[in-house]
Amino acid sequence: MRFPILLTSVLSAVLLASSPSTAQAPAGGGKVFRYAYRVDPASLDPHALAETFTLSWLGQVYEPLVGRGKNLELVPALATKWEQPEPNVWRFHLRTGVKFADGSPFTADDVVFSLQRVKKDGSDMAYTVASVTEIKKVDDFTVDLVMAKPNPILPVQTTSTYIMSKAWAEKNGATAPASVKAKVENFASNNANGTGPFKIESRQAGVRTILVPNKEWWGEKETNVDQVVFTPIQADTTRVAALLSGEVDMIYPVPQQDAARIDGTGTYQVLKGAELRTMFLNMDQKRDELLNSDVKGKNPFKDRRVRQAIYQAIDVNAIRDRVMGGTSRVAGTMIAPGINGYDAKLDTRIPYDADAAKKLLADAGYPNGFSFGMDCSNDRYVNDERICQAIVGMLARVGLKVTLNAQTRTKFFEKVLARDTSFAMLGWQPLSYDAHSTLQDTMNTPVDKVGTYNVGNYSNHAIDKLTMEIETEIDPAKRSALIAEAMTLDKDDFGHIPVHQAGLAWGVKKGVSVVLRSDDSLELKWVKLD
């Protein structure tokens, strides 16, 4: 495949310092896997940011007690089995003979330390163990997690809660978690020492990271890769060019407009699937006066009619067809098919109707609309800025004057998690693949360690009560009914506005075998090269 001189020059300029081909090959030869994603991990501290890509990338180096298999089923990781000796206690039996990448042994002390660290201020992963009130070492390879009330889903809540070395963290001054949103860093922000199948050989943040197999890893070796070179490439065109020029063996995501071209080469192919992440809109419903608005002395978003007007002013089918190239799935509820608790009866939408939206705004006292700002990332989700631009244009048609602030994901998360926002688009994929996470983390009234990603501060105490009941209900039918009740309350209240689930698309060189999971996580331990 040949490229125009200009494109080749641009690619060379962008990748000159970071080109995977400049990475030193493994000693004695060996197989090298080179891949690119749109961004770099936000931090190497596994407790610094609850972002899917950062956590999935760190999952090559660090491990949880309970893991996920090729079909997202629960599998033993650092715990070989788990049980409930009492209704409010989960007991984890730890794997013996495990070593961290630095050669030090893994024991219960590391689990107790790590989970206590997760619960400290600054951690973005505290919600995964929010129900845990005590972490007890039973013996060197047994740990009890004690809860005030029974929590039947604790194991699935912790599949991205990674275990660190206590000795390593203490030695390097990293006993407290770093925080992306608070701009707090420590040694663990740029260094890693896990028990996972790979370890970091070298790293230039934002440029290139080289990983090599962890020879101390306890698991069965499936990959035949001797070295992995990861390069973050934000620009879609540059990322595609890197694949088609042979600079990398795999890229993701693939822009939908380039999928046919990649498939047509005969050398590369596009693997497609459905994402579990739901994109949704948040509206500030707490402040008495909306930020950066021409409405003074009150907050229009507190009025349900205004929230419904915004909902009906957005043509999600047009976003699917024109922005997403037909690859997204329109969402009528806050969870996707494949998430435990999904109810197809709730996955419906009130039709797009700009005239109805105008009438609702007029009835609410805003016949000429009003102004406000919108926060959006430009490098986190598939077509994120383009989606936000489309929404701004649609809202303008009903008189809502929206100023878009699109920025890199790090700055975006810092801003919205500080609640410095009026209107923002986020995506949420429950790490537990259970509706409870969506309720607890994006819909619950923000307090303590819950509601962290409910950046519009929507508050419905009936939903809060149901969320607590859902966490402790062990009867599947009753639990499903409680989830449906909570989701219905938010839906009827227009507490949040679901948009869609994006399609997954990975571009891979033929002869490279990877496992495409619906959580959009590339697991290096399953990569094989011909």
Residue that is written with structure tokens 């020879």 in the block: 215
Residue 372 and residue 386: Cα distance in Å, rounded? 19
Average pLDDT over residues 506-529: 96
pLDDT tier for residue 20 given thresholds of 50, 70 and 90:
very low
Per-residue pLDDT at 7 exceeds 80: no
Question: Which tokens is 407 given?
Answer: 């920025």
Comparing 18 with 38, the larger pLDDT belongs to: 38
Residue 487 reports pLDDT greater than 80: yes
pLDDT of 497 reads 98
- Which residue, 39, 47, 379, 52, is CA-closest to 180? 47
Name the token pair of 354. Answer: 């700009």
Q: Give CA–CA dist 276/472, Å, rounded.
A: 24
**pLDDT band for position 24 (cuts 50, 70, 90):** low
pLDDT on residue 197: 98
Tell which wins on pLDDT, 255 or 362.
362
Please name the helix (run of DSSP H) or strand (run of DSSP E) that holds residue 135, with its range, or none.
strand 132-139
pLDDT digits (tens, 9 = 90+) for 201-258: 999 999 999 999 999 999 998 999 999 999 999 999 999 999 999 999 999 999 888 9
Q: Residue 294, Cβ neighbours under 10 Å: how many? A: 11
Distance CA 415, CA 222 (A): 41
pLDDT tens figures, 410-460: 899 999 999 999 999 999 999 889 999 999 999 999 998 899 999 999 999
Q: Give the pLDDT of residue 18.
A: 41
pLDDT over 50 at 396, yes or no:
yes
Confidence at residue 181, expressed as pLDDT on a 0 to 100 scale: 84
| Cis-peptide, bond into residue 253, ω within 30° of zero | yes
**Banded pLDDT at 9 (limits 50, 70, 90):** very low
Look at residue 22 and tell me whether its pLDDT is greater than 80: no
Q: What is the mean pLDDT of the chain?
A: 93
- Position 390 scores a pLDDT of 98
pLDDT bin (cut points 50, 70, 90) of residue 28 is low
Q: What is the pTM of this model?
A: 0.83
pLDDT in tens, 334-343: 999 999 999 9
In this prediction, residue 69 has a pLDDT band, given cuts at 50, 70 and 90, of: very high
Q: Which two tokens stand for residue 225?
A: 């890769």
Domains delineated in the chain? 5-44+183-273+504-529 (3.40.190.10), 66-168 (3.90.76.10), 278-501 (3.10.105.10)
The pLDDT-based confidence of 27 (bands split at 50, 70, 90) is low
d(CA 369, CA 505): 39
Q: What is the mean pLDDT of residues 122-126?
A: 94
- Answer yes or no: is pLDDT of 332 > 90: yes
Residue 43: predicted pLDDT: 96
- Confidence at residue 449, expressed as pLDDT on a 0 to 100 scale: 80
Which ranges of 369-460 does DSSP label H, i.e. alpha helix? 384-396, 409-417, 435-438
pLDDT (mean) for 325-329: 91
Q: Are 525 and 223 in contact (CB under 8 A)?
A: yes
Report how far apart the first and last C-alpha atoms of the chain are (Å, whole number).
21
Phi and psi, residue 107, nearest 5°: -140, 180
Q: pLDDT tens digit string along 277-292?
A: 999 999 999 999 999 9
